Amino acid sequence: MSDTANPGKSMTLLGVITVILGILAILAPSFTGFSIALLIGGLVLVGGLFRMFWAFRAGSVGKGLLGFALGVLTVLAGIILLANPIILSGALTIMLALYFLADGVAELAAGFSAAGAGSRGWLIFGGAVSILLGIMLWAQFPFSGVWALGILFGIKLFFVGMIMIAGGRAVRA
């Protein structure tokens, strides 16, 4: 039987992989947080280069110059983020706290409205954990650094994987 015939099997496998990635992120939190910051800095830099190249395809000189100037600014932002990932980790810490809060509320809403007990309990539990992580991250903001990003991201991945595993089992049943 192929995975397209049994989407629950694919969902369970992806959930197991996500749980493993979450555990690895928790075991190496500074590496994970630093890697996240560097990845985002690199993506901003590449995005700026694309924007600069795209400016040459603009319909007019004015639009082209504006696009090129925005590309240069984006490249400079990427270089700054790559040169000092601690600045980025501070901004990411705030964004991650807000993400955890919003995601937790969404998971709670999904859990309370879900039919069946299979993934419902994990959604509610995962939502509560997300909200708690967001509050903890926000409360310790200046002191929570790169390591907090790694640990909290790992915990979130772990619970997302557990939700996927429970959902995959429910789909198969």
Strands (E), the chain: none
**Portion of the chain with pLDDT greater than 90, in percent:** 28
CB within 8 Å of 71: residues ≥ 6 apart: 48, 49, 50, 51, 52, 53, 54, 55
Question: How far is residue 96's CA from residue 103's CA, in Å, rounded to a whole number?
Answer: 10
Tokens 């501070």 belong to which residue? 90
Put simply, whether the predicted model's pTM sits higher than 0.75 gets the answer no
Is 119 strand, coil or helix?
coil
For residue 43, what pLDDT is reported? 93
Q: Which of 84-88, 130-134, 157-161, 162-166 has the lowest mean pLDDT?
A: 84-88
